[in-house]
Amino acid sequence: MNKVKKVLLGTLLASLPLFAVAQDKWPTQNITFIVPYPPGGPTDIMARLLSVPLGQKLGTTVIVENKAGASGNIGSGAVAKAKPDGYTILLAASGNMSVNQTLFKNLNYDPIKDLEPVIQISKFPLVLEVKANSDIKTLQQYIDYAKANPTKVSFGSAGNGSPQHLGPELIKSMSGAPLQHIPYKGASPAVNDLLGGQIFSMCDIMAGSIKYIQSGQLYPIAVTTIKRSPVLPNVPTMDESGLKGFDYFAWHGIALPAKTPQAIVTRYNVALNEIFKDPEFAKRWEAIGSEVVGGTPEEFKALILSEADRLGALVKKLGVQLD
């Protein structure tokens, strides 16, 4: 072995213990948890529920930061461009991970190449809802009223391509009801306008509306998953209400910048799986309407890819594209 090779090998071997020590000591600073949507919505609720136990598991403080805009692209792009050292994490969702690559002509990040999937954290049914004082109480009444009044039945969403948008578009496609889409910059302002009577209806992720349903301010017509929700066991499914085979849900997860060391990805995955296995935390998670999920990074990546195909096809069918 020549002298240059010996020096290079010696340098490499010397660096291995240092790398191991660095991984053992990680984290040594606060972690920033980017939510690419506005405060008050379901993604924000989930991040704040997770931040404290995640910080405890990792031995640091997890700070939630809302970086909203452009249907999640601003915050997602910021994480995609962040240093891959594990100190910046993303609240990933079907929108910013699987829909936006079809929805936007010029996306400022590639969700497949620029972000590293860590774990799926939620599976939410959506709930079609109206104000509690509405005469509409069933899905068939909703559809019939929309057909009889083609310009009156609006639905609010968290923005183009969001679950709150695509869910009602499936209802519209399967029923022929002429529903009018009103996009908002986030789910929370849409819910506020529903409560105020500015829009007729909303098909919201359960976490964002459950408190208003439980308080009697909103009336749940039907849930979008094929099975009833344990949180609203008396509310029928779309399938039971006449739209046979209807099954749609929102999902969320955690992602890191691409090229984050595998040891750090594993630390997050193990910590989050442990959190979801805790019975007390699981109760809190189920109370906002989500199934307790978890799993491996590979399983989450498979979901992202399959949903990119399924939801991308729906976006193309709708003919919706943004700059």
DSSP letters of 122-171? EEEEEEEEEETT-S--SHHHHHHHHHHSTTT-EEEESSTTSHHHHHHHHH
**How many angstroms separate the CA atoms of 31 and 49, rounded?**
15
Q: Does residue 262 sit in the same domain as residue 208?
A: no
Please give the biggest Cα pair distance in the chain. 86
Q: Does residue 78 sit in the same domain as residue 178?
A: no
In 228-314, DSSP assigns E strands to 249-257
292: Cβ contacts below 8 Å, ≥ 6 apart:
276, 282, 285, 286
Number of domains present in the structure of the chain: 2
pLDDT, block means (10 residues), the chain with 323 residues: 45 43 78 93 91 98 95 95 98 94 93 97 95 97 97 93 92 96 91 97 93 97 95 96 95 97 98 97 92 96 95 88 79
What SS3 class is residue 279?
helix
Report CA Rg, the chain: 22
Read off the tokens for 180.
């009018």
User: pLDDT at position 41, please?
Assistant: 80
Helix (H) or strand (E) run with residue 5 in it: helix 3-25
Of 249, 269, 284, which residue sits at a domain end?
249
In a domain, 323, yes or no: no
Q: Does residue 213 sit in the same domain as residue 276?
A: no
In a domain, 277, yes or no: yes
User: pLDDT at position 18, please?
Assistant: 38
**How many angstroms separate the CA atoms of 267 and 261, rounded?**
10
**How many angstroms separate the CA atoms of 237 and 292, rounded?**
20
What is the span of the domain harbouring residue 53? 3-123+250-318
Q: Does residue 98 sit in the same domain as residue 169?
A: no
